Structure formats: C-alpha cells, structure tokens
Copies of this chain bind each other. A is one copy, B any other.
Amino acid sequence: MTIERINPGPIMSSAVVHGGTVYLAGLIAADTTVGTKGQTEQILAQIDELLAAAGSDKSKLIKANIWLVDIGDWAEMNEAWKAWIVPGATPARATVEARLAAPAARVEIMVEAAAD
C-alpha cells in the first residue's frame, strides 16, 4: 500500500495518508497569545486545511485525541469544537490533561479521518 506524506519535516509530517485513512499530527495554535477557545479555533482551521490537502474533510472524522494543559478548560475547548463539528459526524474522542511541548500552548489535537 502506498504512503502519502503532507509536509514531511525533519521530526514529523503534518499528515500521513495510508490505507484509506489520513492521520494528522498533534496540532497546536500558531498564535498562542489567545485563550483556549481561540487556540482551539486555530487548530480546527488547520485540521480543515490538512484534511482538504489529503482529499478529506471534517465530515469524515474517525478519531480525535485532545490534550488540555488545564482540564478545567474542557467546556471552553468544546465551545469551539461544537461550533465546528458536523452534526451527526462526530468522531470517537478522548480528552485528557497534559503539559505540552510549547509552553504557551493550551490545547493540542490529533485526529484521524477517512481519506476517501
């Protein structure tokens, strides 16, 4: 089976497509001066772009892992999530608390979607 890589960098690729599934990297916001909701919105916009580059879209989400620096931000993150998600097309999802590599990042999201 072929493997397609989107933005393959020295450490990770932004996305990898294999076997009918697209796997996105764990994404954080480019502008971390805003709060958790704003950071989540930026991440979800990145997900839209990367899924489009892979020939997919958010209606085809399969799985999501979300990490919050403060699990108390769960409701705030969900405001952005619920405004973005396609009703009836929600993925399997898990959200836990964790410190992230970028000190000012408040949230990181890693998703998988159907590629076709």
B-binding residues in A (CB < 8 A): 1, 3, 5, 8-16, 18-21, 23-26, 60, 62-65, 67, 71, 74, 78, 81-82, 85, 87-101, 108, 110, 112, 114, 116
* Identical chains bound together, number: 3
Which 10 residue pairs are nearest across A and B when measured between Cβ atoms? A26-B94, A12-B93, A97-B99, A96-B98, A23-B92, A25-B92, A94-B110, A23-B63, A19-B20, A74-B101
Using A62-B18, A81-B11, A94-B25 as known contacts, say yes or no to A71 and B89 having CB atoms under 8 A apart: no
**Which of B67, B93, B99 is within 8 Å of A11, CB to CB?**
B93
Distance (whole angstroms) from the CB of A80 to the closest CB of chain B: 12
Using A1-B114, A18-B114 as known contacts, say yes or no to A97 and B95 having CB atoms under 8 A apart: no
